[in-house]
Structure 1
């Protein structure tokens, strides 16, 4: 039993060291290229449309792009693929540098808040390999519940000093008088929280009002 434990510990240590080396090498490579890797969280109910509108304003140096989509969101992946094809044509490149990762929803529509605790924990577990594999320089989200576990794992990346990730939350234009639940949960977590109505900035001083983005 002791021998098995020693072997298991050795294997886990080797995997951890290998992962850290991979992360350091990838960060170094991205810095040399001058690329800014982006992780964008998609969401149903208009979130994906707003997010793609935001991403359309980013230059070609913002690559590769990793799109995170809830497993039960059947429409967002199609919209992402169409967006990347159009971008590929505009930029005149042979192949777009992007990937799509699926994770469980933190909370389904009409799901009770109590049961959402376990589903959120599951989503966090699934988010770790996504974030650590893509090693984004920028995490951008705009409100879907799926962004909460992604942002929390992004904070872990910063705490472990495995990257210089910035987390930007853009509140939906639909939020005029109060922040969404996701924004409220991430209020002190993200680096920048942007709102599209001056009334929100007055009510929540940590936010930044920069006009209507979408």
Structure 2
């Protein structure tokens, strides 16, 4: 009887969790974070081209997207330099325009989910380690939105953001922008986050035709 009760409890929790996840994902498009004020955005910066693309995207966002919490892999030094250079130029631009808003940003680090050429079996362990660091980070920052464009590091961060909504703590918008280099197929990260994201942008019409949920606005980075 005890074993049956445990199994029933686990199954019930799984049903509740899946139902809650469905509700959070399906109601995401109605959620408008920052409608009455600033939007705290968690920006996932991958290495190399991912960081370059995400910073180009941020150039077009208004000053309302403040503060900006950048998250990079703990082994990524180049992205940190690019972020500081970007924020420095952004601050100078605001100063020249005599803007009242102040540039606010932080840079946080978590373990990389998957290194280049890392085996899939070992990447499961490293992703769980990244998730272990992502949960307390996201629960502390409580952003309004997670903005990402493909690095594996964004998967545990998006999972942590979804968990905030599932637990009823805060609804976090998941915005995914597929890399410009993905013309005919989604990246692995894109395939994972496609059903979970609130807004999923692609930059080629061929992808829009294959993935009806996606949003195609042409090249945006």
Residue correspondences, number: 185
Gaps of 5+ in 2: 1-32
Task: Mark the CA change 1:31 to 1:44 in structure 2 (over 3 Å): closer, same or farther.
Answer: closer
CA distance in 1, matches of 2:213, 2:92: 39
| Residue among 96, 99, 107 paired with 1:100 | 107
**How far 1:85 moved relative to its partner?**
0.8
Q: Which residue of 2 aligns with 1:139?
A: 146
Moved over 3 A (4+): 30-33
Secondary structure, in 3 states, of the residue corresponding to 1:133? helix
Q: Which residue of 1 aligns with 2:93?
A: 90
| Residue among 36, 48, 61 paired with 1:58 | 61
Contact in 1 for aligned 2:48/2:79 (Cα 8 Å): no
1:17-57 deviation line (CA, Å, top 9, x unaligned): xxxxxxxxxxxxx9697111010000113000100010111
**How far 1:138 moved relative to its partner?**
1.1
| Residue among 37, 41, 44 paired with 2:44 | 41
For the aligned residue pairs, the C-alpha RMSD in angstroms reads 1.7
Contact in 2 for aligned 1:88/1:94 (Cα 8 Å): no
TM-score (norm: length of structure 1): 0.82
Q: Which residue of 2 aligns with 1:78?
A: 81
Secondary structure, in 3 states, of the residue corresponding to 1:115? helix
Q: Which residue of 2 aligns with 1:208?
A: 215
Q: Which residue of 1 aligns with 2:13?
A: none
CA distance in 1, matches of 2:220, 2:102: 28
TM-score (norm: length of structure 2): 0.80
CA distance in 2, matches of 1:139, 1:153: 10
